[in-house]
A and B are shown apart, each in its own frame.
Chain A
Amino acid sequence: MTLTSFAASAVFYGANRLISLSPADVLIIVIYFVTVLGIGVYLQRYAHTSKEFFLAGREMSAWVAGLSFLSANLGALELMGWAAATYQYGILAAHFYWIAAFPSMVFLGLVMMPFYYISKTHSVPGYLQLRYGEATRALSGISFAFMTILMSGINMYAMAIVMKVVLGWNIHFSIWVSSLTVAAYVTLGGLYSAIFNEVLQFFLIWVGVLTVPILGMIEAGGWSGLVAKIHQRVQNDEYVHLWSTLGTFSGNPMGVHWTGMLLGLGGVIAFGYWGTDFLVIQRAMSARDLRSAQLAPIIAAYFKMIVPLIVILPGLLALALLPYHLVPEGTPGEGVHTYNEVLPLMLARYCGPGLLGLGVTALIAGFMSGMAGNLSAFATVWTYDIYRPYLSKMKSDAQLVTVGRWCTILGVILSIGAAYFVTQFKSIMDYMQALVSFFIAPLCATVLIGMLWKRATPKGGFWGLLAGTVSSVAMFTLVKVNHRFLAIVALSPNAKDMAENLYRALWSWLICALVTVIVSLFTTPRPDRELRGLVWGCTELSLDKNLPLWKRPVFWAGGVAIFFAILQWTFW
């Protein structure tokens, strides 16, 4: 075997690939890799202090922080996972962009962000340390680090699947090349580099995937043609309605009741994710002033609500137009394609040389932005909330940056391990929602109560968070061990995985809130003076009273509300 053929066999695993790339496609992908690495090298000179490396100097404009805020969330799971979920569940998947975006992102901008920003903390666990003390910070820091690594692993796995399906690349080759590239640019430029590349990736994702909905709608004959074709395919209308089928558990493909969608997803999961997940909040905290930090999630909310154009619509188009049926992950059969391959299949359907390279680059960009978001957040939490307080207390600023760089590399290594672990799960998105219900849902209750109720005590915060997390894991385990518990956890034996996740999140939030309140009422609260800048009612918020109306975050939040209402009414 020659060296060339050996190298080829390491990258390509056979003739199973969907498409072959032309030299122009390869050139586009190579230019992308060179650019993101070049940005990392360029920004290294600006990332010397811890404030620069971990918070991008707190100098970002509202637009940069906002697009980066959204892009960090627009990873592999968003692109591939929700296109797959749409093929499986229909337009119900759009709830994860609409009801799960509007109220919570606006609430973050208007209510929560002032406390994160004014407290000058470096992270969400850092805020919990100021509000509740060390024990709560340690618990949330460790659980966040664990969750972030798993999420990062899921991102890598999803990317490797795309590379396998589309290009025939060896799954191991894909995981290592992408992760090492992200490790290089985040290690060099820290959050500066992650944010710059995320904004760049946001543009690439849009221009790369937009071909699919445009050409797909032409082929389907517009929205009415698409609906008619889906009806022909599945013999019912459940796949094209947002709310009208949610009256019963069995009346919709997701097997979820409207209460689960509204309270579980729009309430607990959305508020938990957008309001307390440091992966995204870190981007808003990098803004140059409080107003920009408040505007960042509101700007992101506008864009979040149009992301279904490039994620949900391709899933619906695949359901209507692909001449074969896709199957769940792990289904045996020669030449069958799985749900998770929806987006690459649609790209291959419409994109010729050049455009295909751009589409594949968009997918790679999505994976990298998600992975970089996880890595930079992991490095910050690990350095500030685990390493500095518990492992080595005396660290200079320069040493913190060095630790942050090493943590990025450590994060990559752990993520690669997680990527191999993830391969045994049938649905990527269901797995992510399970993680959210474990860690994010109870954290949401802890942070919200801490910000809005000054009577909450350090002991209440800690025991509430612990009880919420443990109960969520326990519910998950019970259903896995004995499926009869599904009827209790998800209120119906007909509930599917997604519905189970939504209700589990809701219960763990309630358990956390209940324990926090009860324990707080029996323990001593902190004096008001110690809660200034941390809790509503103990903090002077001058905010934007002197600004003209159109410059105030609340004005733009109103626009999001109107946009949201129009979308719900249109697709009811």
Chain B
Amino acid sequence: MSREAHMLPVWFFIGALLTIYGAIILVVALVDFHHPSAVVLARFHPDLFAGVLLLAVGGFYTFWFWPGRRK
């Protein structure tokens, strides 16, 4: 069996990092929801959408490529 088969897949690292980022951005978006920053188009709350999306994508990758889940 190749060495790569024993390694944690790169997709797992990506999933974990995106999940953490999604959580941070979502928390910030919720805390600042009623006082959005002074950037252009802040009224659309892009941070809220981005946080949810990152959590979803990152969570999927983390779950799917969790160590030992796929043989």
Contacts and interface: CB of A to CB of B under 8 A. Distances in A.
Of A28, A52, A354, which is in contact with the most chain B CB atoms at under 10 Å from its CB?
A: A354
Contacts of A60: 4
A196 B11 CA distance: 9
Q: Is the interface of B mostly helix, strand, loop or mixed?
A: helix
Contact of A349 (B8, B17, B36, B40): B40
Given A31-B20, A353-B37, A196 B4 contact: no
Interface in A180-237: 195-196, 199-200, 203-204, 207, 211, 214-215, 218-219
B10 A215 contact: no
A511 B20 CA distance: 54
A306 to B, nearest CB: 17
Interface stretch (A35-43, A97-105, A476-484, A551-559): A35-43
Given A196-B10, A218-B41, A218-B44, A354 B51 contact: yes
Interface string A45-65: 010000010000101100010
Interface string A350-381: 11111101100000000000000000000000
Interface residues of B, number: 30
Given A199-B10, A207-B54, A353 B32 contact: yes
Contact of A351 (B17, B18, B39, B44): B39
Given A59-B4, A349-B40, A203 B14 contact: yes
Contacts of A352: 32, 36-37, 39, 42, 46-47
B25 A354 contact: yes
Given A28-B24, A350-B41, A355 B3 contact: no
A214 B45 CA distance: 13
B21 A200 contact: no
A59 B3 contact: yes
Contacts of A31: 17, 20-21
Given A64-B10, A200-B10, A207-B18, A219 B41 contact: yes
Contacts, number: 93
B25 A355 contact: yes
A227 B18 CA distance: 34
B39 A350 contact: yes
B60 interface: no
A22 B29 CA distance: 13
B50 A355 contact: yes
B66 to A, nearest CB: 16
A408 B23 CA distance: 36
A200 B32 CA distance: 29
Nearest to B15: A203
Contacts of A22: 28
Contacts of A350: 39-41, 46
Contacts of A355: 25, 46-47, 50
A83 to B, nearest CB: 17
A357 B39 CA distance: 14
Contacts of A215: 40-41, 44, 46
Interface in A323-365: 348-355, 357-358
Contacts of B18: 203, 207
B67 to A, nearest CB: 12
Contacts of A358: 21, 25, 50
A197 to B, nearest CB: 9
A27 interface: yes
Nearest to B50: A355
Interface in B20-71: 20-21, 24-25, 27-29, 32, 36-37, 39-42, 44, 46-47, 50-51, 54
Interface of B: 2-4, 7-8, 10, 13-14, 17-18, 20-21, 24-25, 27-29, 32, 36-37, 39-42, 44, 46-47, 50-51, 54
- Nearest 9 Cβ contacts at the A-B interface: A352-B37, A354-B28, A354-B25, A59-B4, A24-B28, A196-B10, A199-B10, A59-B2, A215-B41
22 contacts: A24-B27, A28-B21, A28-B24, A31-B17, A31-B21, A39-B13, A46-B3, A59-B3, A196-B13, A207-B21, A207-B54, A211-B50, A214-B46, A215-B46, A218-B44, A219-B40, A219-B41, A349-B39, A349-B40, A350-B39, A351-B39, A353-B28
